Amino acid sequence: MALRGPAGLGPGSRRPLDEAVAGAVGREAPALLAAGGAPEDDEEDDGRGRGLLRWDGFSAWLHCVCVVGFDLELGQAVEVIYPQHSKLTDKEKTNICYLSFPDSNSGCLGDTQFCFRFRQSSGRRVSLHCLLDQFDKDLPVYLKKDPAYFYGYVYFRQVRDKTLKRGYFQKSLVLISKLPYIHFFHTVLKQIAPEYFEKSEPYLEAACNDVDRWPAPVPGKTLHLPIMGVVMKVRIPTCHDKPGTTQIVQLTQQADTNISVILPTVHEVDIFRCFCPVFLHSQMLWELVLLGEPLVVMAPSPSESSETVLALVNCISPLKYFSDFRPYFTIHDSEFKEYTTRTQAPPSVILGVTNPFFAKTLQHWPHIIRIGDLKPTGEIPKQVKVKKLKNLKTLDSKPGVYTSYKPYLNRDEEIIKQLQKGVQQKRPSEAQSVILRRYFLELTQSFIIPLERYVASLMPLQKSISPWKSPPQLRQFLPEEFMKTLEKTGPQLTSRIKGDWIGLYRHFLKSPNFDGWFKTRRKEMIQKLEALHLEALCEEDLLLWIQKHTEVETVDLVLKLKNKLLQADREHLPVKPDTMEKLRTHIDAIILALPEDLQGILLKTGMT
């Protein structure tokens, strides 16, 4: 495997990002100028923001685009990285090379689409996408960017070509992004990859210039995204959306003839198609994912492995899966040794693999799902059985769920009957997916509501917040105290499913998913306390206060109030805009009440 430098591609025109990003990016302009060229004229600005740099629009959606080809002497090689200034370490390029091609045993002829996820190299400098994290705060937790990982979205083509020594044309077009918008990026690739393979680099350059003109990926807005003559209509979900609903605005009677593709989702996969061979055991798999158990999906191709891993991760939504997951994992992956060692217990991770070598290497893993070819929509494969791990000898073993795990909850026969009835009636896969997704959502919500209720009780009462004292502390999470609340306000209030819910909660409280969930909730509540503390300060008569205190104490108050303002802005505290304005007015009034020499010093100290 070898790495080549990026092929020479010329510049193109661009239109800047929305105003919303302008402020955040402006501070970084000098550093980005060197990397991305000079700012463009305002001709195409449409009044949306001034002074942003070429490729800022592109960087909001993608880190870069790679073309990976096969060379008889070099093996898999990165042939093109676009835009040219995109930074990838050698380790990242190596991972992209190997993850962009199916294993040779997969036999993927024609066009294949799949997804992979890989760890970003440590020490990478903060780049533009980190400055766009202001959008992250409005995303559902399961769609927030993970700063440590990249996603790779692949369109791989393998066709016979007698003019080549190898006898085959093999190439992948790969989109590298921080955004987990699986369905969206696969749709983008479907639009551009087939033509790219025919028209090569100039076509890719034109497509990237289209992406560079897109509006920013703002959650909650309906976005129109043109790409090579096609306009996609999408809406990125927000944390305020009701879980399980699709908010995309459908075409009205006054149909917009410019819209070519309407995407009802940016991130969801066809969950029923993935769970179809194992839907009898879907509830057990939900438990394994919820508890962060080590799980391997052994599949015939990267498409099946990546779709199934992503479906598993999605099945506990709106909870975020906090452990690592790899939709497609190979023996060349930089974490291969770390994840396959027998010297310690398997880590909390979901791996999707296709190489037969893994059947032997991962024999010691406690839970293995072996799936056959996923059938086209409408065809139902034979249901697999739960089998003992010792029966899994090779990847050629029969499909099945190989585990000795005993589920905590009794199987819900109602959902199985509902899905089986849909199969008999030839109900479309999309409709089956809606049913299965709603079932998983209700199951997850029934499980999480008692935890949410208990955690809310850890919040101090609002009357205990004093403007002149630090915000009060949250009460400690006490597992036994929580367990006692389940008797009256447990999941039995919202779920018909019986079983050992207490045992499931005890196991969950020791899992990475609980740790991640509770840290997120704790941070949100601390931010809420800080916001309430700010509001309490704003309601005080601060001018009256300074009359009773010394100049030193007044200066100290001004500095503390300015720090509060900076904290509210930096941490995106849930503070009302008028509260911030009130606080600025208070600060200005206090400064004007001080002697002139102090006024000059304080006005220079930070922004009010």
Please state, for a pLDDT cut of 90, what percent of the chain lies above it.
43
Residue 325 has pLDDT above 90, yes or no: yes
Comparing 257 with 491, which gets the higher pLDDT? 491
pLDDT score, position 606:
55
Q: What is the DSSP string of 179-224?
A: ---HHHHHHHHHHHHHHHHHH-HHHHHHHHHHHHTSPP--TTSEEE
Q: pLDDT band for 228, please (50, 70, 90 cuts).
A: very high
Q: pLDDT band for 137, please (50, 70, 90 cuts).
A: confident
What span, in angstroms and rounded, lies between the C-alpha atoms of 458 and 529?
12
- Per residue in 42-60, pLDDT (tens digit) is 333 333 343 446 788 899 9
pLDDT score, position 39:
33
Residue 567 has pLDDT above 80, yes or no: yes
CB atoms within 10 A of CB 392: 22
pLDDT score, position 100:
95
Over residues 414-440, the mean pLDDT reads 91
What span, in angstroms and rounded, lies between the C-alpha atoms of 117 and 328?
7
What span, in angstroms and rounded, lies between the C-alpha atoms of 322 and 326?
13
pLDDT score, position 122:
75
Q: What is the DSSP string of 37-62?
A: -PPPPSTT-TTS-SSPPTTHHHHHH-
pLDDT score, position 41:
34
Kindly state the helix (H) or strand (E) to which residue 174 belongs, with its residue range.
strand 168-177
pLDDT score, position 7:
39
Residue 603 has pLDDT above 90, yes or no: no
Strand partners, 324: 349
Residue 117 has pLDDT above 80, yes or no: yes
pLDDT score, position 380:
56
Q: pLDDT band for 2, please (50, 70, 90 cuts).
A: very low
pLDDT score, position 391:
56
pLDDT score, position 384:
67
- Per residue in 487-520, pLDDT (tens digit) is 988 898 889 999 999 999 999 999 999 999 999 9
Q: pLDDT band for 24, please (50, 70, 90 cuts).
A: very low
pLDDT score, position 9:
39
Q: pLDDT band for 178, please (50, 70, 90 cuts).
A: very high
Domains observed in the chain: 56-216 (3.30.450.200), 271-433 (3.40.50), 441-513 (no CATH), 541-605 (no CATH)
The dihedral over CA atoms of 575, 577, 579, 584, expressed in degrees to the nearest 10, equals: 120
Residue 253 has pLDDT above 80, yes or no: no
- Per residue in 580-600, pLDDT (tens digit) is 888 888 888 888 888 877 777
Over residues 142-146, the mean pLDDT reads 89
- Tell me which of 385-399, 425-439, 551-565, 583-597 is least confident: 385-399
Question: Residues 329, 353: contact at Cβ < 8 Å?
Answer: yes
Query: Quick one: tokens of 312?
Result: 């598993």
Q: pLDDT band for 526, please (50, 70, 90 cuts).
A: very high
Q: pLDDT band for 30, please (50, 70, 90 cuts).
A: very low
Over residues 12-29, the mean pLDDT reads 37
Strand partners, 160: 168
Out of 25-29, 114-118, 466-470, give the one with best mean pLDDT.
114-118
Q: Burial-class residue 290 by CB neighbours within 10 Å (0-12, 13-18, 19+).
A: buried
Comparing 306 with 44, which gets the higher pLDDT? 306
What span, in angstroms and rounded, lies between the C-alpha atoms of 287 and 297?
16
Comparing 171 with 33, which gets the higher pLDDT? 171
- Per residue in 535-563, pLDDT (tens digit) is 888 888 878 888 888 888 888 888 888 88
Give the CA distances from residue 71 to residues 166, 172, 268, 355, in Å, rounded to whole numbers and listed in that order.
9, 13, 35, 21
Over residues 234-246, the mean pLDDT reads 82
CB atoms within 10 A of CB 495: 18
Averaged pLDDT of the chain: 82
Beta strands in 46-162 (DSSP E): 64-71, 75-82, 110-119, 149-160
Q: How does strand 2-3 pair with strand 75-82?
A: parallel
Residue 40 has pLDDT above 60, yes or no: no
pLDDT score, position 256:
57
Over residues 125-141, the mean pLDDT reads 65
Residue 26 has pLDDT above 50, yes or no: no
Q: pLDDT band for 282, please (50, 70, 90 cuts).
A: very high
pLDDT score, position 580:
83
